[in-house]
Amino acid sequence: MTEHDYRKIFPRMPKKVKIGDITIRDGFQHLEKFISTRAKIYYAEQLIFAGCRDIEVTNLANPFLMPQFADAEAVLAHLRSEGFKKRCAKKGVNYDDICITAVTIRESGVDRAIALKKKGVGPDRCLMMVSTEEEHHFANSGTTLPEYWKEAERCIKKCSDAGIKMCGTVSTIWGSPIAGATDMKDAVEFTKRWLEIGAADIEHADHDGSASAPDVYRYFSMILDEIPNTDLHIAHFHETKRVASASVLAALQAGITCFEATIGGMGGQPSNFMDDSPVPGTGEYYYDDPRFVGLICLEDLLVQVDEMGIEHGYDVDRILWLGRQMEKTTGQRLRSEAAINGRTLKEGHMKYARPGLKARKERQGEDVGQSIPEEWGDKAVLPEKYRPA
């Protein structure tokens, strides 16, 4: 007989996951509208109060290139303030459990993070990024891969000396929007390189939504076979074909426990237009239609893992509410279905029930809960031609 116990089929699948939020950085960077500092602070606070403990809040690159993050220091300073720490204590949040990340693609960003750390407002963790496909890497960083690896090694040493962790991202694992797919073995090797030079953890990124479930399962199985500590690995999926939930499931089946997402599925390549002006960003967009760019939705991901019985630490209903507020903040319909349609309620939605069922059953002489005619047998008899061989 077929094994019906899901966890026996996928014994590595976790019972508890850690989900980081990167709305305020990755989510907002693709918007062609400046999100106010007050709104950024509001959503950072609310996400933390709703259960987020790993939060990415800004990019420390030159704000001339990405003006969305011109307020980076102000956002970080608020999250380091005594007032915010007191609010955390009132909400029952242990401030020391919160890890605040700022993206620092190049060394200048790392130097800025260290300077902010000395001022008492710096991040706990920085992030640098390589792509296995070098054209994509060059578009992101302006360097070749060999020169970037040397820069990353220097930066990790600087961060370590300053008490800051470094996350190493490996991108274009399953495909690239520029020069196409690379071998997944290259990404496994790049992961080892990051750890060799001192990275604290690895973000495994599907930045253009190329991943398919079988390849996600295969890749993360390869990763965990060689580097089995699940705390080191973060799955980062983009949604361009409405199949990313299958990638999440495949990653869970492989044994991955750490994920990232954004409210409303926002995110993608940094915008090259802001409010009323063109800005450099990272140049021309990779995609013909920027509406179909972004990460997996935090709201939908939480509903997915929650309904699988996987522990996650969030107040799901609060996150769904935040998703609806975010649509007002951005002025557009975002991509979460769960934020609009809610969770699957085991008790149903009786407000939609049609009147008269009880009376009709009584007229028919049927008992409450009776679902088949009284004269039928207790069990269905399957015709022999349909029975298992």
User: What's the predicted TM-score (pTM) here?
Assistant: 0.94
Name the band, by pLDDT with cuts 50, 70 and 90, for residue 225: very high
Helix ranges restricted to H, 103-260: 107-118, 134-141, 145-162, 184-196, 213-226, 244-254
Say if residue 292's pLDDT is above 80.
Answer: no
Phi and psi torsions of 64, nearest 5°:
-65, -35
CB atoms closer than 10 angstroms to residue 49:
17
Phi and psi torsions of 168, nearest 5°:
-105, 120
- Decide if 237 contacts 249 (C-beta within 8 A): no
DSSP string of 40-93, one letter each residue = HHHHHHHHHHTT--EEEEEE-S-TTT-GGGTTHHHHHHHHTSHHHHHHHHHTT-
What is the Cα–Cα distance from 35 to 71, expressed in whole angstroms?
A: 10
Phi and psi torsions of 268, nearest 5°:
125, -165
Name the band, by pLDDT with cuts 50, 70 and 90, for residue 288: confident
Q: For residue 19, give the nearest of 229, 316, 321 by alpha carbon.
A: 316
- Where in the sequence of the chain do the CATH 3.20.20.70 domains occur? 12-341
- List pLDDT tens digits, range 338-362: 999 988 888 888 888 999 999 999 9
- For residues 232-251, average pLDDT: 95
What is the Cα–Cα distance from 83 to 71, expressed in whole angstroms?
A: 19
pLDDT at 289: 77
What is the DSSP secondary structure assignment for residue 22, as one 8-state letter?
A: -
Say if residue 290's pLDDT is above 80.
Answer: no
Give me the residues paired with residue 169 across strands: 129, 203
pLDDT at 296: 96
Say if residue 141's pLDDT is above 80.
Answer: yes
- Decide if 309 contacts 296 (C-beta within 8 A): no
Say if residue 293's pLDDT is above 90.
Answer: no
Task: Give percent of the chain above pLDDT 90.
Answer: 88
Half-sphere exposure of 184 (CA within 13 A, CB side): 17
Phi and psi torsions of 119, nearest 5°:
-85, -5
What is the Cα–Cα distance from 163 to 166, expressed in whole angstroms?
A: 10
Say if residue 256's pLDDT is above 80.
Answer: yes
Say if residue 221's pLDDT is above 80.
Answer: yes
What is the residue-averaged pLDDT of the chain? 95
- Its CATH class, for the domain covering 12-341, is alpha beta
Sequence-separated (6 or more) residues with CB below 8 Å from residue 84: 45, 78
Q: Quick check: helix, strand or coil at residue 201?
A: strand
Say if residue 284's pLDDT is above 90.
Answer: no
Say if residue 116's pLDDT is above 80.
Answer: yes
Name the band, by pLDDT with cuts 50, 70 and 90, for residue 119: very high
- For residues 46-64, average pLDDT: 97
- List pLDDT tens digits, range 306-346: 999 999 999 999 999 999 999 999 999 999 999 999 888 88
What is the Cα–Cα distance from 162 to 122, expressed in whole angstroms?
A: 10
- List pLDDT tens digits, range 359-384: 999 999 999 999 999 999 999 999 99
pLDDT at 343: 87
pLDDT at 287: 78
What is the Cα–Cα distance from 5 to 2, expressed in whole angstroms?
A: 9
Say if residue 389's pLDDT is above 90.
Answer: no
- For residues 112-126, average pLDDT: 98
- Decide if 114 contacts 154 (C-beta within 8 A): no
pLDDT at 358: 94
- For residues 70-99, average pLDDT: 98
What is the Cα–Cα distance from 51 to 76, expressed in whole angstroms?
A: 19
